[in-house]
Structure 1
């Protein structure tokens, strides 16, 4: 049984390069992408490895691909929009093909205070839907949510304890 014919194999190298360049530009138009994501896109379209490598290098030279900038932007965006903690952000960056050194540099931008504030906001939001539940159940669910979002156990338990403690304090009436 023969493999299906790939029309990409019939193109001259100049056309292959043009085809690959078009793929890269389209992918970068949607949103910033890591070099690894773009390489994967080219591989899926059967672009020869040498052509892909050459184009990715050129795009990097001219600044269209910048994994360090991508990692910083990704960390800032995902922490702001999803409230993710450092370990979840590191996992996502690894999945995007960002090497550990660049990921570490980007994660240094997340200061502890900002991370703790984000955890407080997540817990406060979730607490609204937990009225009537036992404190133990609330603690377990809230710390579990924070753990899934990438927060360390110490941050998770500290934030949950603070928020549940403030929930128990009587509110002063005006």
Structure 2
């Protein structure tokens, strides 16, 4: 009969029964499977719409092999879960309506999202010259209200800088700024400048 106060010996593990943390499985793990890739893609799409390139990048961060990612994304495309055309059109509509971005800024954002040039060009056709002028005017009117009382030249520089950051061409921006300030009865050029000035100087 064993002594209760004597610690029991631990039974030695037989060869081949080591815990996984010390075995070959921990040293050489299997690459992520298609199930892992699907889970990553679905989580990304649940959070927000994504382009195919964004989903590929998310999978690459988790070391999903390219061929596995391609197979999963091909199937997602077939069933309509991934659609770069629809994604690009949605992004252009919302960014233009909510943020007032011009075509140049929208094109840059599409590139950052991994949208190809042909798809981007089609999506950008939703915004024409009249749309840009209307958006620029709305933005300039809002900005002008927050700069009331400042020197006309200062107001002009701030309006120009804001519109440049939104991607508006210089001609559109200068036209809208002149109209907005003139509607307030303010001389947009002050007393020293009778012309439109240099766009680079105003927007820099």
Q: TM-score range by the shorter chain?
A: 0.7 to 0.9
Aligned residues: 161
Partner of residue 26 from structure 1, selected from 43, 50, 59: 43
**Where do residues 49-68 of structure 1 align in structure 2 (5 Å cutoff)?**
49-68=66-85
Cα RMSD after superposing both structures = 1.7
Paired position in structure 1 for 2:170: 153
Partner of residue 167 from structure 1, selected from 184, 189, 195: 184
Cα distance per residue 1:46-73 (max 9 Å; x no partner): 1011101111111111111111110000
Secondary structure at the counterpart of residue 10 of structure 1: coil
| Displacement after TM superposition at 1:111 (Å) | 2.1
**Where do residues 4-153 of structure 1 align in structure 2 (5 Å cutoff)?**
10-11=29-30, 16-153=33-170
CA distance in 2, matches of 1:145, 1:49: 41
In structure 2, stretches of 5+ residues that fail to align are 1-24, 187-204
Runs of 4+ in 1 over 3 A off after TM superposition: none
Cα distance per residue 1:61-105 (max 9 Å; x no partner): 111111111000000001111110110000000000001111111
CA distance in 1, matches of 2:119, 2:168: 20
Cα distance per residue 1:84-139 (max 9 Å; x no partner): 01100000000000011111111111122222111111111111111121212111
Q: Which has the higher contact order (CA 8 A, sep 6+)?
A: 1
TM-score by length of 2: 0.75
Secondary structure at the counterpart of residue 110 of structure 1: coil
CA distance in 1, matches of 2:148, 2:161: 18
Structure 1 or 2: larger helix share?
A: 1
Paired position in structure 2 for 1:3: none
| Displacement after TM superposition at 1:10 (Å) | 2.6
Q: Which has the larger radius of gyration?
A: 2
Cα distance per residue 1:126-155 (max 9 Å; x no partner): 111111212121111101110110111111
